[in-house]
Chains A and B, each alone.
Chain A
Amino acid sequence: MKRKLSLIVTALAMAVTSHLGFASEPTAGGTMVMAIQNTPRHLNPAVQSGTATGVPGSQLFAAPLRYDEGWNPQPYLAESWSVSDDGLSVTLNLVKNATFHDGHPITSADIVFSIDTVKANHPFKTMFAPVETVDTPDEHTAILRLSQPHPALMLAMSSQLLPIIPKHVYGDGQDPKSHPQNSENVVGSGPFKLAEFKRDQHIILEKNENYFMEGLPYLDKLVMRIIKDPSARTIALESGEVMLSIFEETPRDLARMKKSDGLNVSSDGYSAIGSVVWLAFNTQNGKTADKQVRQAISYAIDRNFIINALMLGTAAEAKTGIHPGSPFYDETANGYDIDLDKANLILDDAGYARDSDGMRFGLTIDYGWAEIKQFAEYMKPQLKKIGIDVTVRASADFPSWAKRISNHDFDMTMDNVFNWGDPVIGVHRTYSSENIKKGVIWSNTQQYANARVDELMQLAGSTYDVEERQKYYAEFQQILADELPLYTLFAAPYHTVSNKKVGNPPKSIWGGSSPMDKMYLSE
């Protein structure tokens, strides 16, 4: 009920803001400079996951579907679609006038080729695993035949997850992962064409004059400047040197930009990216293998302090591994609100006696990159209060940390993992007992195994009925809240910061990875 209410409030708020936002008519034309944070490896999201490639990739390539702010699929390259009664075939009816940047028409053969390429090369195997074959009765119809009902398919066919790439270019026999046209002379299907890609400098995108969506994109040119340093981006936004920045998450900079007159700072969107920050436990080895230890630690952490003091209020509360913006988030799950007495009591009852220094035992905590270091450091004084002596283990950089964690050489670690739309894509991998794989980061590195949890994921992953799925995921989250392979701190505060002259900054559930064809500059 509470969620429904909040949905209504959101809808109302959206109606009001959209009314205000659209008060001025979009103006076509102009060059816009925006900031991005990293140089992508290349620009083809079919063979490279992650937002670094996804942000420019979603401008260069169109997908069959796109999403609005409220998890509703919208027509994109597919003007309509339908699911058969048995749930085993999904029909896409493609728009007729769509062409690639080189003038070739986009046909159902390209859809088949793109699905095959993603299926073979993309790291998220669950996206298209149930797709057995794709039939193409004519040039503008593709029918996906499934081995089981696959509710994640719609999200997997949107945004950067299924870019439609031309078969006549990327199907020339070269390995698509290292195809030379992933970085230059990219032939895409999206609102913008690639003009120039200079590593560590910029990506220049130009309007696709033959874009299949009438009258779009509004901008003539979209320049993505690569600025790694968050403070430098803040200054560039304030001075108007760049007009837009996406995926902003540094609390201090966000707080500063919120005070700036010329800027809009918004956390709308991004719920499908679903970035969640959590404390993961090694559930097989050491003291953390004991569920009571994990529960006691969770009771000792002050989530509100972390959100309000460390994150300066820029983060949203999250109690489970599913992002709170997802329709499957269960807010009734036990969030372990801070209760030091209870934490101490649990440890006392479990027989972990304090020694003469008041300590019960020691644990290590890891972190892999600077942004989450402060949470690891917070644990040290905090867990001392319940008699746990925490040693913070620094890693030189990401690969060093990944090596440690993926080889299960840890007690506790801070981590930040993405949901990637449907739980089937980005959530199941963390809990599935089949996904305990040494050496693979962001697999089930907690080594958590529970037959009922596995079963619930299977059930929720094979029905289209949203209410039924919610029921399964609710039970799933209840079990995990009790057994605690990880304790969730918050949903990462991705923000879109835009100059007030920018109309329609990206706000869909995919946030900054949405197509920016409706974005414009007003005078």
Chain B
Amino acid sequence: MNFWRLTAKRIGYGLLLLVAVLVLNFILMSLAPGDIADTIAGEMGGANETMLAEIRASYGLDQPFHIQLWRYLSKVAVLDLGFSYFYNTPVITLILEKLPATLLLVFSAQILAITIGIILGVIAAKKPNGFFSLVVTLLSLFGFAAPVFWTGILLIILFVSIFPIFPIGGLMDVTLDGSWWQHVLDVLYHLTLPMITLASIFIALYSRLARASMLEVLGADYIRTARAKGVPERSVLYRHALRNAMTPVVTVAGLQFSAVISGAVVVETVFSWPGLGSLALHAIVARDTPTIMGILFFSSLVVVVFNILTDVIVRLLDPRIKSG
């Protein structure tokens, strides 16, 4: 099977997966007790029955389930994600409004986690029984075991409350009046704590993985050969060993993308980060079905795309991998 056929097959599976995600979640949402009319009544501090009936009728909630599902799917098929019940705004507008913030958070955390994870892993692998290796192991165990919201709150207490270095949350300082690069710096400044929080779990994962994978590769015959023929240790480590040790890390990083996105939901809530996560949380509580479905659609799309990309990158890293 050649590269393109395989990729096409992957995309086909991806589309199937998207439909499955939509149907399954639509069923789940309809199983949840209460609906948007109850939420709106709650938000309003009360309502009467004609009003509730009106709300239900105007969103088609008085229709049988299969008709609702069919209507929704046929809309999505033509890329229409519908209107948010709660905000009365096209879902696509809501998502595009929030997507950049989430992508910024997810990508920066992922890049930070991969970079630091690999660096820590490699250093630890150099002396697998040394003190530093022990520290990395402990640190990663801690990072992996600590719930992400707890890490976030801990960082807030430390760096916002006790040592007021960073802002409490949000994406930017709206009162800031400056040039574009000052705004960029301001966003980065706001990004620091959420990014570190989200990266913490994955730093742990990647450093453990990089360490193990480096150790395995360093024991391989070709490394001994490289050393025997007098290649400098530096070059052995970073040119011969690291590239091969990267493959499992990249694979796992790609597969972890969905985990990073779900971690982002929690981090966004802790840091009032205005991304898809906080929107998703609110949409679920509000029973705002079109919005939650739209978000799930987009995040599954991102996960599918990144799984396909991971395949491609892994194959570039290791040409021996040909077919899945």
A, B bound: yes
Interface, chain A (partner B; CB < 8 A): 31, 33, 39, 41-42, 48-52, 123-125, 177-178, 182-183, 196, 198-202, 204, 221, 223, 225-229, 231-232, 235-236, 238-239, 241, 395-404, 406, 418, 420, 426, 429, 437, 439-443
16 contacts between A and B (CB under 8 A): A41-B40, A49-B44, A123-B41, A123-B44, A124-B46, A177-B88, A196-B174, A200-B282, A226-B272, A235-B161, A397-B34, A398-B34, A403-B33, A403-B38, A429-B46, A439-B52
Which residues from chain B contact A236 at a C-beta distance below 8 Å? 168-169
Supply 18 further A-B pairs (C-beta < 8 A) apart from A41-B87, A235-B161: A42-B88, A49-B46, A183-B87, A221-B175, A229-B272, A239-B160, A239-B161, A241-B168, A396-B33, A399-B39, A400-B32, A403-B38, A418-B45, A437-B48, A440-B47, A440-B49, A441-B41, A443-B46
Beta-carbon contact of A439 and B49 below 8 Å: yes
Cβ of B35 and Cβ of A399 under 8 Å apart?
yes
CA distance A403 to B274 in the complex (A): 30
B167 interface hit (Cβ, 8 Å): yes
- Contact between A178 and B88, CB atoms less than 8 A apart: yes
**B86 CB, nearest partner CB in chain A, Å:** 6
Enumerate chain A residues within 8 angstroms of B161, measured Cβ to Cβ.
235, 238-239
Number of A-B residue pairs with CB-CB distance less than 8 Å in the complex they form: 154
Choose from B46, B174, B269, B285 the contact partner of A225 (Cβ within 8 Å): B174
The listed residue (A125, A182, A226) touching B48 by CB distance below 8 A is A125
Q: Any chain A CB within 8 A of the CB of B118?
A: no
With both beta carbons as reference points, the residue of chain A lying nearest to B40 in the complex is identified as: A41
* A437:B34 contact, CB within 8 angstroms: no
**Chain A residues near B47 (CB-CB < 8 A):** 123, 440-442
CA distance A437 to B52 in the complex (A): 11
**A123-B170 contact in complex given A235-B156, A398-B38, A399-B38, C-beta closer than 8 Å:** no
| One of A42, A50, A440 near B45 (C-beta < 8 A) | A50
The listed residue (B33, B86, B89, B274) touching A198 by CB distance below 8 A is B274
Q: Indicate if B148 sits at the interface (CB-CB under 8 A).
A: no
Residues of chain B at the chain A interface (Cβ within 8 Å): 32-35, 38-49, 51-52, 86-89, 94, 97-98, 153, 156, 160-161, 164, 167-171, 174-175, 269-270, 272, 274, 278-279, 282, 284-287
B278 contacts A123, CB within 8 Å? no
Bound: A257/B292 CA distance, A: 36
A193 shortest CB reach to chain B, Å:
16
**How far apart sit A92 and B319, CA to CA, in the bound complex (Å)?**
83
**Which residue, A51, A201, A229, A238, has most C-beta atoms of chain B within 10 A?**
A201
Residues in B whose Cβ lies below 8 Å from that of A221: 175
Q: Which residue of A lies closest to B153 (CB)?
A: A231
Is the Cβ of A201 less than 8 Å from the Cβ of B274? Answer: yes
